């Protein structure tokens, strides 16, 4: 199928209005799963982005704090799977990274939750109890049934994840954390149809979570968009490509009234290490 292209001149230029969020790729694109829709091409063998060292991470935090001149900011861990860094292979660097982050601001960790065992969560709870800032989690689940989720979210050997993710959510709750549940939905089509589809899907998730004693958890819907493995998945299954022009100047003028604040890149930046070992800052949180 042919994909639509856009004129580079139409792509909007969105200035940084303020820096409310900084996103880090602590584990790079390394992940314990091999999901077929991964936007950053993450996986057990992915080396597109390399794990950050503790020194690199601390230096970046220091630079942000200097830039902010006392203005608060929040920190996000994304990836890649952050919890791979608890391993001795990485000298357990996850824990000092969390401690360092909480010295500067509130911390949100995006994770699939599978590597967060009781011992790990106990240690993180102790760190959080001593910190002056809060820590929260967002755990991904891509279907309200095992059949739906396991079709796209799985280990490299094809091992399913649905019931393991539910167990992980229950572990987090048992240790005093209330993780949000992130799910994906089809975002193409008319706005009214997309919103109706999202509302119906959210109600289905809510009923499912209630059956596992997790009905009070926040739900966080994220639309599919074409990047990384998602493009290949659509090609392989014969699914229609998501016809999106991206963010254009016309988009901002028409739908946002020229209010840049509605776009994440106006208030956030991300930090990562490239495959060649160079580190740098990026406009978008999804690399």
C-alpha span between 36 and 231 (Å, rounded): 10
The predicted structure's pLDDT at residue 244: 59
- For 121, the domain range is 16-282
- Confirm whether 9 is domain-assigned: no
Asked if residue 66 is part of any domain, the answer here is yes
pLDDT at 2: 45
81 has pLDDT over 60: yes
Is the pLDDT at 61 greater than 60? The verdict is yes
Q: What is the CATH classification number for the domain harbouring 49?
A: 3.20.20
> Considering the domain boundaries, does residue 109 fall inside one?
yes
Instruction: Report yes or no: 224 and 182 within 8 Å, Cβ to Cβ.
Output: no
Q: What is the pLDDT of residue 235?
A: 60
Domain membership of residue 104 (yes or no) is yes
Tell me the pTM. Answer: 0.89
Q: Is residue 5 part of a domain?
A: no
Q: Is residue 4 in a domain? A: no
Is 11 contained in some domain? no
Mean model confidence pLDDT for the chain: 89
In a domain, 3, yes or no: no
Dump pLDDT digits (tens) for 178-222.
999 999 887 777 878 888 989 999 999 999 999 999 999 999 998
Please give the span between the terminal C-alpha atoms of the chain, in angstroms, as a whole number: 24
The answer to whether the beta carbons of residues 17 and 266 sit under 8 Å apart is yes
Q: Tell me the sheet residues that pair with 77.
A: 24, 109
> In the chain, how many domains are there?
1
How many CB atoms neighbour CB 189 within 10 A? Answer: 13
Tens of pLDDT, residue by residue over 95-132, are: 999 999 999 999 999 999 999 999 999 999 999 999 99
């Amino acid at each position: 199928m042919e994909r639509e292209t856009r004129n580079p001149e139409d792509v909007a230029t969105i200035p940084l209005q303020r820096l409310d969020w900084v996103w880090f790729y602590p584990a790079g694109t390394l992940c314990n799963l091999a999901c077929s829709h991964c936007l950053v091409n993450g996986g057990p063998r992915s080396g597109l982005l390399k794990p950050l060292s503790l020194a690199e991470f601390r230096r970046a935090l220091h630079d942000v704090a200097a830039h902010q001149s006392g203005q608060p900011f929040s920190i996000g861990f994304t990836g890649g799977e952050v919890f791979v860094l608890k391993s001795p292979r990485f000298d357990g660097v996850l824990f000092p990274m969390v401690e360092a982050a909480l010295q500067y601001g509130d911390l949100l960790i995006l994770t699939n939750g599978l590597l967060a065992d009781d011992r790990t969560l106990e240690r993180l709870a102790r760190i959080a109890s001593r910190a002056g800032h809060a820590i929260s989690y967002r755990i991904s689940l891509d279907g309200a049934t095992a059949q739906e989720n396991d079709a796209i979210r799985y280990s490299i050997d094809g091992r399913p994840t649905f019931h393991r993710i539910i167990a992980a959510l229950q572990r987090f709750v048992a240790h005093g954390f209330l993780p949000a549940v992130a799910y994906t939905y089809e975002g193409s089509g008319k706005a009214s149809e997309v919103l109706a589809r999202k509302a119906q899907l959210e109600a289905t998730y809510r009923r499912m979570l209630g059956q596992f004693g997790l009905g009070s958890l926040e739900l966080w819907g994220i639309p599919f968009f074409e990047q990384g493995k998602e493009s290949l998945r659509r090609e392989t299954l014969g699914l229609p490509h998501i016809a999106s022009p991206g963010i254009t100047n016309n988009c901002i003028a028409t739908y946002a009234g020229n209010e840049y604040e509605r776009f994440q890149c106006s208030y956030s930046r991300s930090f990562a290490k490239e495959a060649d070992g160079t580190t740098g800052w990026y406009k978008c949180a999804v690399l």
